[in-house]
Amino acid sequence: MKSQKVCELLSAMSAIMVDVYSLRAIGEMDQSESQEWEKDWASIAEVVKDRGVSILLVDGPDMAKHLLRCIVHGSLIPLPGNFWARGLTESTVPHRFAGLWREVFDASGALRLDGAGGRAVRDLRQLYACLKKMDIDCPVEAINQEVDSFQSVDRSLPRPSPYWETGPSGDRSGSVAHCSFTWNGDVADRAVQLNLVEFAFEFLPLLDHVSGLVMQALGQYDWSQWKFGHGPGCVADLSKGGYKYAFPTWSQRLDSCFPYEEVAFSNLTSWANVALDDCIGFSGWHLADTIEPWSRLDAVPKDMTKPRLIAYECTANMFCQKNIFDYMVGRTEVSWLGDFVKFRDQSLNQRLARESSAHGRLATVDLSAASDRVTCTVVESWARSNLGLLDALCASRTRRCVLLNGDILYLNKYATMGNATTFSVESLLFLTISIAAVLHARSQKASLKNVRALAGEVAVYGDDIVVPVDCRSSFERAMDLLWFKVNADKTFWTSKFRESCGIDAYDGEDVTPAYIRSLSNETPDEIASLVEQANNFYSKYLLRSAGFLADQIGMALPLRSVSSGVFGLSCRTGPSFSAFRRRWNWFLQIDEVKVPCLSSRQAVTPVNHEFASFQFFTEIPDPLSSWASGIKRRPDARIASEWVDLRLFN
C-alpha cells in the first residue's frame, strides 16, 4: 500500500485513540495511564510504518475477536503471534491498552463480574476493530481459498433427489411423494453418522409438525397474486446494459411453473407477435433442459482477509425468484410469522440482543456459510406440504454455477447468495428449526399455541438467530443433523456479550464500534460515505475522528442537528450555514439557504421494443412520476447546490 494511504490510516487511528483517551480523561486518569497511552501510540506508529497496515486491518480485528473469546471464557487466554497481544499470558493483560484490559479482567486474569467493564469493552473494540471494514481488495490467494472452501462445502452436502434434477412436471397427479424429515433417508444417514439417532427420533417429528404450521401460515402459493421484478444488479445471461425484459432464455423447467406466455408478456397478443417475429423466433426462447442457463460466481470486496462470494442468476430465474420472495415476505408480515421474522426491519433482533446481554436468558447465534449449507433435501422436507411453493422453488433454482476459473459446478446446495429467494427461505427455515429445538428442549408439543408463545424468545433475520439459552443442546444438535454449522466465534450463549444484526451489546449497553470504510473523496458516492461515517463517529461522541473524516470530504458542508435528515455534518450545538447564501422565498413564505445536496439520477436508454408495455405493467410506476421504458442504468449520485428550507436543519 502506498505510503500516503499508510499515513492516512495512521492519522485515522491517532484520531480514534485521542477520542477514546479524551472520553476516559473526563473521569480520573493518573499520569501513569497517560504515559501508557503515549507509549502505545508511539509503538503502533513505529510498527505500522515498518510492517504495514495489516497490523491495523488484520491483527486489530483479530484481537477484537480474541477479546470476546476471553470474555466468553471468563478469563484471559494467551494469543501468540498478534502484535496487539504481546505480553498476554493466562494471568497478565497485554502491554498495549493495558489500562483498559485491567478494567475488564482482574489481577489474576479473571473476568470482572461487577459490571464495571462495559465502557472498557466498548473502547477496546473501538480501538481494535475501527478499520475492520475498510474497502480494500483482498489478495488473489484469499479469493482462491474462498472459492475452494465454496466447493468443499458444496461437496460435503447430500446430492439433491431426482425431483430437483428433473424439475416439477406441472402435473401433480403423477408426481412423486416428498419425504418428511422423519422419513428422509439422507437425514437418517446423517443421524447415524453423527450418533444422533435417539435425538433425531424425538426431534424430527416435532420439526415436521412445526414445518406444517409454518407452511399453513404462508398459505398456498399462486404466482398470479404476487409481484415479479428484476434486481438492480448484473445477470449471468446478459451483458452489462442488456434489456432484461426481453428475456434471452426461458427454460422448459421454468415454464413448468411459470408459463412463458403468461408471465413474460403483458398479454397474449404481445406473446403472439413475438412468437411470429422472424427476427426472434419462438424456438429461441424455450431452451431444452440440456442447455439450461447457469449462474456465474463472482467475488465482491468484504475485508482484507477474504471476499464475499455471490452468484449472478440468469434473467428469467431472477424475475420469478422475485415473485416468490414477494410472496414469502407478504405472507410473513400478515401472519403470526411476523412476530418472529421481520424481513424489512432488524430492530427485533437488535432489541433482544441488547436485552439478553443484561439478563442472559437468550443467546445470539450466527451460522458459518449459512446459505451455502441449505440443502435441497432439507428444503424439500420443509416445504412438502406447500406443493405450489416447493415446485416454484425447484423450477426457479439454478442447478449449475460457473466458477471464477471457468469450471462448472453442479450444485448440491439449494442456492447461492444471489438467488432472490435465498434470504427468505433460510430465514423461515431457521425459524422452523429454532422453534422445534425449543419445543424439544422444553418437552412441549408442536401446537400453534405453544409455538406462538415463543414470540419474544425466538427471532430470526437471515442467519442471525436469537434463541433461549436453555435450548442450546437441542439447537446445536439440530443444526448439525441438518448440515448446518454454528459459528463459534460469533455465537454467544454465556457471558454478558451479545451480537446480532449489526449491534454489539455488553451488559445491556450498546458497544458497537464505529467503522472507517473509506477515506477517498473522488466521487459523490465516496463523499456521501465520508459524511455518513463522520456523523456516525459524532453520534458516539468521537469528535476528533468525526472531524478527521470531515476534513477528508474536501468541500464545505452545512452543520445540522443530529436528528435532521439534511445532507450535512451533525452538530449538537445547533445548525450553522453562515458560509452559504440565504434568501426569503416569497412564494413559499420560508427562509431558505443554498447548500450542497445529495441526489441520485438514473439514466434510461429508450428501447423500441414489444416488451416496453410489459415493463410498464411490471414496474407499475407512480402516475405522478416521470417514467420511461428502457434499459435502466445504475443510479448515479450527484452533489449540487439547491435551496433548502432552514427549518429542516433542526
Query: What span, in angstroms and rounded, lies between the C-alpha atoms of 625 and 622?
Result: 5
Element (H, E) at 311: strand 308-312
Beta partners for residue 367, in sequence order: 486
Looking at per-residue confidence, does 267 or 124 come out higher? 124
State mean pLDDT over 56-81.
88
Q: Say if residues 463 and 370 touch (Cβ distance below 8 Å).
A: yes
Q: Give the pLDDT band of residue 290 (cuts 50, 70, 90).
A: very low
How far does CA 108 lie from the centroid of its chain?
39
Please, what is the Cα angle at 368 between 387 and 134, to 5 degrees?
Answer: 120
Query: Model pTM?
Result: 0.92
Looking at per-residue confidence, does 207 or 575 come out higher? 207
The residue among 259, 17, 388, 310 whose CA lies nearest residue 146 is 310
Q: Dig out the grid coordinates for 337 from the structure.
A: 410469522
Query: What span, in angstroms and rounded, lies between the C-alpha atoms of 140 and 128?
Result: 25
The pLDDT of residue 176 is: 55
DSSP classification of residue 110? B
The pLDDT of residue 2 is: 59
Q: Which residues contact 30 (CB under 8 A, 6 or more apart)?
A: none
Evaluate if residue 178 carries a pLDDT over 50: yes
Q: Which pLDDT tens digit goes with each residue over 435-489?
A: 999 999 999 999 999 999 999 999 999 999 999 999 999 999 999 999 999 999 8
Instruction: Give the three-state DSSP class for 367.
Output: strand
The pLDDT of residue 576 is: 87
The pLDDT of residue 351 is: 96
The pLDDT of residue 379 is: 97
Angstrom distances, CA of residue 333 to CA of 217, 325, 329: 10, 12, 6
Evaluate if residue 303 carries a pLDDT over 80: no
Angstrom distances, CA of residue 543 to CA of 403, 466, 473: 45, 34, 45
Evaluate if residue 529 carries a pLDDT over 80: yes
The pLDDT of residue 454 is: 97
Q: Which pLDDT tens digit goes with each residue over 146-164?
A: 999 999 999 999 999 999 9
The pLDDT of residue 459 is: 97
Query: What span, in angstroms and rounded, lies between the C-alpha atoms of 516 and 549?
Result: 9
The pLDDT of residue 32 is: 65
Per DSSP bridges, beta strands 559-560 and 590-601 are unpaired
Residue with cell 451480537: 499
CA atoms within 13 A on the CB side of 150: 27
Instruction: Give the three-state DSSP class for 411.
Output: coil
Per DSSP bridges, beta strands 295-300 and 308-312 are antiparallel
The pLDDT of residue 125 is: 93
The pLDDT of residue 556 is: 92
Q: Which pLDDT tens digit goes with each residue over 324-340?
A: 999 999 999 999 999 99
Q: Which pLDDT tens digit goes with each residue over 111-149?
A: 887 766 788 899 999 999 999 888 887 888 889 999 999
Q: Which residues contact 40 (CB under 8 A, 6 or more apart)?
A: 17, 96, 97
Query: What span, in angstroms and rounded, lies between the C-alpha atoms of 8 and 30?
Result: 30
Evaluate if residue 174 carries a pLDDT over 80: no
Question: Mean pLDDT in the chain?
Answer: 88
How far does CA 307 lie from the centroid of its chain?
14
Q: Give the pLDDT band of residue 172 (cuts 50, 70, 90).
A: very low
Q: Say if residues 379 and 163 touch (Cβ distance below 8 Å).
A: no
The pLDDT of residue 77 is: 87
Evaluate if residue 300 carries a pLDDT over 80: yes
The pLDDT of residue 392 is: 96
The residue among 135, 130, 131, 133 whose CA lies nearest residue 512 is 130
Q: Give the pLDDT band of residue 373 (cuts 50, 70, 90).
A: very high
State mean pLDDT over 375-400.
95
The pLDDT of residue 47 is: 85
Q: Give the pLDDT band of residue 226 (cuts 50, 70, 90).
A: very high
